């Protein structure tokens, strides 16, 4: 090979090496850019997922707080109505005692028992509405505890109403008076127990994650 051909070959080889080197550099740069883009996409996706997780956690926390508030308000409303019924039962039983004391005394005026008994019936009816609202906010166990308390309330209302009937008809009222007092005592204990359970459930609900 003469010197001219050798020079051409050398030049060709040099150009080819430059082209190959440039091509490899371009490929490497493109691969690095792709890797960077993939990493950026993964980072962005992780950030989005973290943000969504934060939003979901905040939503769940707000939802739990709202449900806790609804349950708490239902407890307060129901217990307030229970106490209203209890007070009227006790007051009517006290009036029955006064009516019994006036029996046989011509100069004494027996207290009116019809009006407080009618008021008690109305207050007890309103309790049913509170009971229904509470059942929408509690679990099965709490609903059963509420039903037990409601039965105690109903028994106390029925017993004191029966005592009124016994007084008006002049029939033997001693047994009815004892039953009324017994049901009032049971109601007082039932309210204490229900309140204790309600307080526990509210405390447990506030600690739920």
Provide the sign of the torsion angle of the four alpha carbons 8, 11, 16, 17, taken in this order.
positive
Residue 59 pLDDT: 43
Residue 76 pLDDT: 86
pLDDT band at 9 (very low <50, low <70, confident <90, very high): very low
CB of 163 closer than 8 Å to CB of 173: yes
pLDDT at 43 over 80: no
pLDDT at 89 over 50: yes
Please write the tens of the pLDDT for every residue from 60-69. Answer: 445 566 767 8
Least confident of 4-8, 75-79, 118-122, 150-154: 4-8
Domains of the chain: 66-206 (1.20.120.30)
Nearest to 195 by CA among 91, 72, 92: 72
Residue 133 pLDDT: 72
Residue 104 pLDDT: 63
Please write the tens of the pLDDT for every residue from 166-202. Answer: 988 877 788 999 999 999 999 999 999 999 998 888 8
Contacts of range 92-98, beta carbons closer than 8 Å, 24 or more positions apart: 92/116, 92/117, 92/120, 92/160, 92/164, 93/160, 93/163, 93/180, 93/181, 93/184, 96/160, 96/163, 96/164, 96/167, 96/177, 96/180, 97/177
pLDDT band at 204 (very low <50, low <70, confident <90, very high): confident
C-alpha atoms less than 13 angstroms from C-alpha of 34 in its C-beta half-sphere:
6
Nearest to 146 by CA among 78, 71, 44: 78
């Amino acid at each position: 090979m003469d010197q001219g051909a050798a020079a051409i070959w050398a030049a060709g080889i040099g150009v080819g090496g430059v082209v190959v080197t440039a091509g490899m550099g371009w490929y490497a740069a493109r691969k690095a850019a792709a890797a960077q883009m993939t990493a950026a996409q993964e980072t962005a996706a992780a950030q989005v997922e973290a943000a969504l997780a934060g939003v979901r956690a905040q939503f769940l926390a707000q939802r739990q707080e709202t449900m806790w508030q609804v349950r708490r308000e239902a407890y307060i409303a129901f217990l307030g109505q229970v106490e209203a019924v209890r007070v009227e039962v006790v007051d009517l039983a006290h009036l029955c005692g006064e009516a019994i004391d006036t029996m046989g005394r011509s100069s004494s005026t027996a207290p009116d028992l019809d009006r407080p008994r009618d008021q008690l019936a109305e207050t007890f009816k309103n309790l049913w509405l509170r009971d229904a609202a509470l059942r929408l906010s509690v679990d099965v166990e709490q609903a059963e505890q509420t039903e037990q308390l409601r039965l105690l309330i109903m028994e106390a209302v029925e017993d004191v109403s029966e005592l009124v009937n016994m007084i008006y008809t002049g029939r033997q009222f001693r047994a009815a008076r004892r039953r009324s007092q017994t049901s009032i005592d049971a109601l007082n204990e039932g309210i204490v127990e229900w309140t204790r359970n309600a307080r526990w459930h509210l405390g447990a609900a506030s600690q739920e994650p």
